[in-house]
Amino acid sequence: MFALYDSLLISQGRTRACYRHPSDRGLVIKVPVGDKKAQNRSNIKELRGYQALMREQVDLFCISHCYGFVTTSLGRGLVCDCIRDDDGSISKTIWDIIVHQEVCDVAYIQKVTDDFCRFLIQRDTRLFDLNLKNIALRMQKDGSYQPFAIDLKGRFDNKETIPVSSYSSYFAKKKMVRRTRQLIERILFFRNRRKELQSKTG
Ligand SMILES: Nc1ncnc2c1ncn2[C@@H]1O[C@H](COP(=O)(O)OP(=O)(O)O)[C@@H](O)[C@H]1O
Ligand SMILES: [Mg+2]
C-alpha cells in the first residue's frame, strides 16, 4: 500500500487529487476526492479512455499514459506518467501558467495549444475534455513547450444525450474543432482576468 501525504500533492481537480508517486518520480497517483459516485468513477473513466486510445493508436507520445490501479492510504488510485519539464520540475498546466505566472507569452501558448489540438484532430484522437487544467505544457531546454494531455476521462464522461461523438468519427471531429476554438479563446479570456481569478483560487 502507498501512503500519500500532503507534501506529495501536486494539485486537485474537480473530481480527483493528483499526488507524486512516493517512490517513482516518473509517476503520479490520482485518487478520488469526496465520496460521490461520479468522483469515484473518474479513474475508471480515465483508464477506459486510455485503453480506447491505445486500441486506436499505439504511438501516442503526447498523453500521460495510465498503468492501472494501486491501493493507497487515500483509497484506490490510478497510476499515470508524471509530466516533467526538462529541468525535472513538474510541468505546469496551461491554467497554472496563464493565471498564476506573471510573465508569459500568450500568443505562443495559443499557438502551441492550437498545433496540439490540430494534431489530435488530424489523427482522430478523441479527447474531449480539453480544458486549460487538463493540458500540461512541458518546458524543454530551449524554452519551448510540448503539450501533454493529462486527463483522459472525457470520452467516457460524455454528457450528450446520445453520445454520438464517442462512436462517430465525423461528430467527434466536429466536437474537437469546437472545443479547440473555445480553448484558444479562453487562454486570452482568463489571462485578462487573472487578478480576480488569483484571488478566488489562491
Ligand atoms: N500526469 C500528470 N502530471 C502532472 N500533473 C498532473 C498529472 N495529472 C494531473 N495533474 C495535476 O492534477 C490536476 C488534477 O488532475 P485531473 O486528472 O485533471 O483530475 P480531475 O479529474 O479532478 O480533473 C491537474 O489539473 C494537474 O494540475
Ligand atoms: Mg481534469
- pLDDT digit of tens for each residue in the chain (202 aa)? 999 999 999 999 989 999 999 999 999 999 999 766 666 789 999 999 999 999 987 668 899 999 999 999 999 999 999 999 999 999 999 999 999 999 999 999 999 999 999 999 888 888 878 899 999 999 999 999 999 999 999 877 766 666 666 667 788 888 889 999 999 999 999 999 999 988 876 5
Reading the block at residue 69, the C-alpha cell is 490501479
Q: Which ligand is nearest to the CA of 99?
A: 1
Number of domains in the chain: 2
Pairing relation of β-strands 135-139 and 145-149?
Answer: antiparallel
Q: Which ligand is nearest to the CA of 149?
A: 1
Cβ–ligand 1 contact at 164 (below 6 Å): no
Atom number of ligand 1 nearest to Cα 30: 17
C-beta of residue 93 within 8 angstroms of C-beta of residue 101: no
What pLDDT score does 161 carry? 64
In a domain, 62, yes or no: yes
- CA 56 to ligand 1 center in whole angstroms: 23
Spatial distance between the Cα atoms of 18 and 32, rounded to a whole number of angstroms: 9
What pLDDT score does 124 carry? 84
Say whether both 101 and 73 belong to one domain: no
Q: What is the CATH number of the domain that holds 41?
A: 3.30.200.20
> pTM for the whole thing?
0.93
Cβ–ligand 1 contact at 11 (below 6 Å): yes
Spatial distance between the Cα atoms of 9 and 117, rounded to a whole number of angstroms: 28
Say whether both 46 and 110 belong to one domain: no
- CA nearest 134: which of 200, 21, 45? 45
Which residues lie near ion ligand 2 (Cβ < 5 Å)?
13, 134, 151
Q: Which ligand is nearest to the CA of 18?
A: 1
Say whether both 53 and 133 belong to one domain: no
Which residue's C-alpha comes closest to atom 2 of ligand 1?
Answer: 82
What pLDDT score does 38 carry? 60
| Residue whose entry in the numeric block shows the C-alpha cell 510540448 | 146
In a domain, 163, yes or no: yes
Say whether both 104 and 195 belong to one domain: yes
What pLDDT score does 165 carry? 63
In a domain, 1, yes or no: no
Best of 8, 9, 10 for a ligand 1 pocket test (most atoms within 8 Å of beta carbon): 10
Helices (H), the chain: 37-56, 94-100, 106-122, 164-167, 169-192, 194-201
- CA 169 to ligand 2 center in whole angstroms: 23
In a domain, 86, yes or no: no
In a domain, 144, yes or no: yes
Best of 12, 27, 30 for a ligand 1 pocket test (most atoms within 8 Å of beta carbon): 30
- CA 7 to ligand 1 center in whole angstroms: 16
- CA nearest 1: which of 71, 75, 68? 71
Domain of residue 42 covers 6-81
What pLDDT score does 26 carry? 98
- CA nearest 74: which of 45, 38, 39? 39
What order of strands is seen across the sheet that includes strand 135-139?
A: 92-93, 135-139, 145-149
Say whether both 110 and 187 belong to one domain: yes
Say whether both 102 and 188 belong to one domain: yes
Q: Is 187 exposed, middle or buried (0-12, 13-18, 19+ CB in 10 A)?
A: buried
What pLDDT score does 126 carry? 80
